[in-house]
Structures are given as C-alpha cells and as structure tokens.
Structure 1
Amino acid sequence: MKSTLFSTSSQARTDDLVTAAAWVETPLQLLSVLEAHHIGGFARHTRVLPRAGSTALVDTVAALTRIGLPDGLTVLPPEPTPSLYRTNADIWFVGDAFSGQVQRALLSGRTRDYVIVDDGLATIHLLRLLTRRTATPLERARVRSSPPRRALGLAAAVKLRAAARAGRLTVFTVLPLPDQLLRDAAAVGIRVVGHDFPWLRSLPGGSAPDEDRVVLGSAMVRDGLLHAEPYLAWVAGQAREEPVVYYPHRREDARTLEPLNADPRVRVVPQGLPAELALRGLGERHRVVSLPSTAVTSLRVLLGRHGVTVEAVPVPETWWTDQASPGLRAHLSTFVADQKDTP
C-alpha cells in the first residue's frame, strides 16, 4: 500500500476565506508547507512564520522569495515562538509536534484542522505514537523527558488523537510509509496524503555542479550516532574514485567539516539551502551518494525522472556508537532501497 497523491479535483476546498498558519523550524518543513499550499486542498491563504535563529531557514526563505512563492502564501519575518498560532486560522500546519512550544499552542487553542508536514524521521515516529492502542506521550526518539514534559506530551497526543477521530488530522508526506502503518493511521482516523514535490518540480532547473559525484553530508557524527573516523574515511574513499562535491547537512559541525575542507579532493559547498532545492538542477550525468536519510527519498522523487542515480549506502555496524539504538539502525536501513522501489 502506498500513500496516495492528494486529488485536488475531488477534495480541494473552495472557500476563499479558509486560512492556514504554519510555524516552521527547518527548511524541509518550509518546503513541505509550500507543497501542501500549492496542491490547493487545504487553504487558499497561508501565512508561514519561520523560527528565528536559523541561518538555513533565512537562506532558504531568501532563495524561495527570489524564485517566487506560490500565490496566496506569505512568509513573515522570523520569530522565536509560534505566535502565529494565536491567530484565528482555520488550519494549522505543524512541522514539529514534539516541540514543547507547539504542544502548548495545541492545548491553548480551539480544535481545528491540523496538517502534519515532514520533519525527517520524526514524522514516522510521530505516526507510530499516534496510532498506538492507548494515548502515548509525544516525545522525541532517544530523549528522556521530565515528568512535566511527559504530561505535556500526553495532553498533546490526546488532543491530536481526538482531532483524528473527528476527521481533522492529516499527515502530508513524501515518505513511503509501511503498509501496516498506513492501515493503523486509517484505523484511528488519520488521513495520509502523499506528494511528489509538484511545486519544486514546476520550477526552472537550478545550476548544477561541475563534479559528477555529489555526496550528501550527514549530521549523525554530530548527533553522537556515528564515529567520525570511518565516516571521514568513507567520504575520502568517494573522492579517490573521482572529484566530489560535498553538500553538508545543516547541523554538521567542525568535527567533519574541518577535515573535509582540508582535503583538496573534496569541494565543500557552504551550508545553507536544503538538498531538495540546491540540487534540483542535477542531470543524468550526476550520481548522488548518501548515508541513509530522508533526503535519499525526496531526491529520488525529485531527480529520478531526470536520470539521476541517488544511492543510499548502508552503515557498517562498526561505525555506530553506543547511542545508536538497534531500532534506529533498523529504521535507517529502510532508506537503503533500490531506486525503482521509491514511489
């Protein structure tokens, strides 16, 4: 079973007065909101509030503004809190349902329609929590919350599960979800809407690097999940085969970036735009290589029709640190799939 692309002809809203509010904390959340608005099935007027303090978000907003935002969508100046959720919008786009600020906003406002947009692997973790037999606190994977935060997470779960039962909760995702998870979501009233980045695909192609091989950076070293030495050796091995351009993850730090910048065989581009936006101009001569990540799925969706090979490399067991649980390792392995298996 696959998540199905939303049909605007049969389900799109027609009321010009329907409004939506979104607070986004990452470039992927922002792109997902733009795609949901572009499809036209949620709201005709959407206001997006970026979280303050994120250089990657500032750069992404600037690039998208230069390209031209979808009609009816406005991006506001960044703020440190989701103050936009205090307005009387009909729909809330939610990127990070594990955020304490978002959870408090959910509990302070009236029930409305909620649309969960992609936030990497957290999207699947959220769905699994919301579809359990009984309400479970919405807590991030690998995080031990304090009793007050667990209570807040439980109250937020109850609110979203009630919205699902009332037909007011949608998950908008590019990720291929397991069949059983889709069945579980339908059973509790969650509607899953799949998409293939129609707005991004409608844009003129961007520039392409001179190098044929593109390596996507990973934040798993910074997150304490991978040892740095084998990761850096893997990138160096890619560069021994042919010239490499390296696109860092927005959260990478000096542990990986300093050694890579010192390697003359690797051209490291500045951190900034998300891969989905920066690499949309790649062609059939290019090959993208990455450790398992959600970007593998999204780039296959975006670039597969242009003949671009997007390869996810499995992580050897010796690379993992003790902080990487068996469940996380198994989940990441789902992204190591042949390109033809990606919807």
Structure 2
Amino acid sequence: MREQGPAVAWVESPLQLLCAVEARYAGVVGPDLQVVARGKLPGLRVTRTELAALALPDGLRLSTAGDHMPRPGRRESWVLGDAFSGRVQLTSLGAAPRHLVVVDDGLATIRLLELLTARPGTPLLRARTTATWTRRALGAAASLRLRAAARSGRLTIFTALPVPAALAASVRDTGAELVTHDFAWLRSQPAAAHPRPPESTVVLGTSLVRNGLIHRDRYLSWLFALEGPVAYYPHRREDPGDLAAVREHPGVTVYDGGAPVEMTLRDLRPGQRVLSLPSTAVTSLRVLLSARGVRVETVDVPDDWWTPSATASLRSHLQMFAHERAAP
C-alpha cells in the first residue's frame, strides 16, 4: 500500500461525487479527503445533502466552490471524474499532484481507458467531439501527462464497471493501478431516505434522445406502451419538453430524485424490475439489487430507433454492458 496523504477531489456530477466517497471508504485515498463539488448544479446539491445525512467515511469533508476548481498541491492526491473536461485538462498542465485517482463518470471511463492504452499522444477527447486544433492540442498534452503519471505509478483508476479483461491488462501494462469496487460504502448505509416507489416497473430516463442519438417518437412510443403503472426516474440531462410529455401520460409517474439512481433505488424489492436503455447505471444497480431479487434489464435498442448520428462503433460502445436484455 502506497503512502497516503491529504487529497482533494473535484466532482461535477452526482455519480462522481458518490464514487469519490466510495474511493475514500475503499482506502484508495487517505483519511484526509476534501470533496469539492462544482456549484450551481441541482443534482449535485441534492446528492451532497443526502450524503451529509449518512455516515460518511472518517476524514471526508464535503464542500461547494462555485465554478472555481481547486488546484492540487504537490503533496496532495487529486481525485477527479471527468478527465475529458477542458478545465481539468488545463489545470493538469500546471499541477503536479502526488497521485491521481480517476473515479467513474459513466461510459466515459471506459473511453478514457481505451485512449490511455492507444497510440501515445492520442488526445483525450470525448466521443462524437469535433475538436478545434487548440482543443486537440490540449487533449494531447493531457494524455501525455496521464501516461507519465501511469508510468511512474501515480495513477489509479477506481471503477465499478466490468472492464474487459484485455483492456484491463493493457491499462495495467501502462503502470496504472486499476481498482474495482461494488459500492461497499453505499450498501452499508440505510435506504430510508428514499422510500421505494409502489410501481412494479421502474424505468431509468436516458440522455440519448437529447444527444440526438435515438428518435424521440420511437422512445416515447415504447415507454407509453409498457404495461401497468410505471415509475420514471429522469436522466439529469433529459430535455424538459420530453419530461413534460412523460408527466402528462397516464400510468407514468415521474420521480424527481436528483441523486444518483444507485442511491434512490437501492431499496427496491422482489417483484419490482428496472428497465433502462444502455447505461452504466444498469451495471451498478445489478450490483446493488441482485441480492434482493430485483431484475435490472437493459432494453436492446432496435435499429430504427437510432439516428444517423449514431455510428456503428458508437452503438457498440453504448451497448457494451447490455448483458441482459428486455424486449422493447
């Protein structure tokens, strides 16, 4: 076990915030961890409030810093979730943290691992990004810094995702440490803050419509055709107009939780099921709910749902965790 000193985490999504707490509980960072959440994001405020009401790991402090990102010192570890953020990449050029810990930020985590093990100098850019020359240069510089941290044993990837064996081996070959977890801290906490919905079918919202990857009418037609009462938990990036249409449909109840579904749905019971389009939440919910006898199913997206913006490679990437499928 490496020597562990103070650490600072910068988080910009509810999942990043939850995984930073899990990283402290797992001992990936030391007992002095300040988690700084980006301000003005409703989901982060809700998640922080709910986390503060639970038994946080020793030495962990939660704070909000508006849009100001703290720069880690040379004696500090730096915990972050979005390695593709231009702000994070720019900060990394002038920072030299003792250790770098990357926590989950959805499927972007897998893309990060793929780029980390790609040809040296491959820019760290999001999928489907049309980048300027300046942005590509920044992504390439951030990639070199990340690889240097890996080679010197200063990079840890902390994830709940099932990383394919070949990719995991390639990541470790770079010198990076790959640590997996199963939300052990969250599973140890009471779920009373989120009474389970009475509906037997729970549907997780998706950002694929707003991102222009699937057709709105196909998605809503599928949702409205589901039998029985449906509990709907929106994705944090869903279009407000689409949500308004869902709210107006009889038989569908929208629950505005704000916090990650890993927190809001962990008290479901046998007889209930969760349906979701391709999402990393499916993987984490299976970890949390399988022992309870709750089915968590990924809906296999039909070909005619996809828009021209969804390339074959992107479709494959999005559906890489759809091990169990529910007929649409």
Could you state the TM-score of these two structures normalised by the residue count of structure 2? 0.95
2:88 is aligned with 1:102? yes
Any idea what the Cα deviations from partners look like across 1:114-162, whole Å, max 9, x if unmatched?
1111011110111111111322111111001111111111111101101
1:61 corresponds to which of 41, 45, 48: 48
Task: Indicate if the aligned counterparts of 2:210 and 2:238 stay in contact, CA closer than 8 A.
Answer: yes
1:159-181 deviations in Å (ceiling 9; x for gaps): 11011001111110000011111
Q: 1:217 aligns with which of 189, 202, 205?
A: 205
Q: What is the deviation of 1:285?
A: 2.1
Q: 2:221 aligns with which of 216, 233, 251?
A: 233
Give a deviation string over 1:63-105, Cα, whole Å, max 9, x none.
11122322211111232031x2244552111211111111111
Matched residues in 1 for 2:95 and 2:196: separation?
Answer: 45
8 Å contact from structure 2 (residues 73, 97) kept in 1: no
TM-fit CA distance, 1:270: 1.5
- Give the distance between the partners of 1:157 and 1:20, measured in 2 at CA: 22
The size of the alignment, in residue pairs, is 323
**Aligned CA-pair RMSD:** 1.5
Conserved? CA contact 2:75–2:97, under 8 Å = no
The 2-side partners of 1:25 and 1:333 are apart by 24
1:114 aligned residue (100, 103, 120): 100
Q: 1:226 corresponds to which letter in structure 2?
A: I
Report the more deviating stretch, 63-72 or 149-158. Answer: 63-72
- In structure 2, the residue corresponding to 1:29 is in which secondary structure? helix
> 1:166: which partner in 2?
152
Bigger Cα displacement from structure 2, 330-339 vs 261-270 = 330-339
Give the whole-Å Cα distance in 1 for the aligned partners of 2:299 and 2:75.
43
Letter in 2 for 1:229: D
- Identify if the C-alpha distance between structure 1 residues 165 and 88 changes in structure 2 by more than 3 Å, giving closer, same or farther: closer
Partner in structure 2 of residue 262 of structure 1 = 248
Task: Name 2:260's counterpart in structure 1.
Answer: 274
Confirm or deny: 8 A CA contact 1:160 1:169 kept in the other structure: yes
Structure 1 unmatched runs, 5+: 1-10
CA distance in 2, matches of 1:162, 1:87: 18
Q: Which one has the bigger helix percentage?
A: 1
- For 1:110 and 1:274, how far apart are their aligned partners in 2? 31
For residue 271 of structure 1, report the CA deviation from its aligned partner. Answer: 4.8
Show the counterpart of 2:123: 137
Q: How far 1:294 sits from its partner (Å)?
A: 0.4
d(CA) in 1 for partners of 2:224 and 2:75?
50
> Quick one: distance in 2 between partners of 1:247 and 1:164?
38
Identity %: 48
- The answer for unaligned runs of 5 or more in structure 2 is none
Displaced runs of 4+ in structure 1, greater than 3 A?
Answer: 86-89
- Alignment deviations for residues 265-314 of structure 1 (CA, whole Å, 9 cap, x no partner): 10011251110011111111210011110000010011111111000011
Tell me the equivalent position of 1:80: 67
Q: Which letter maps to 2:230?
A: V
Superposition deviation, residue 111 in structure 1: 4.6
Name the SS for the 2:29 alignment partner.
coil
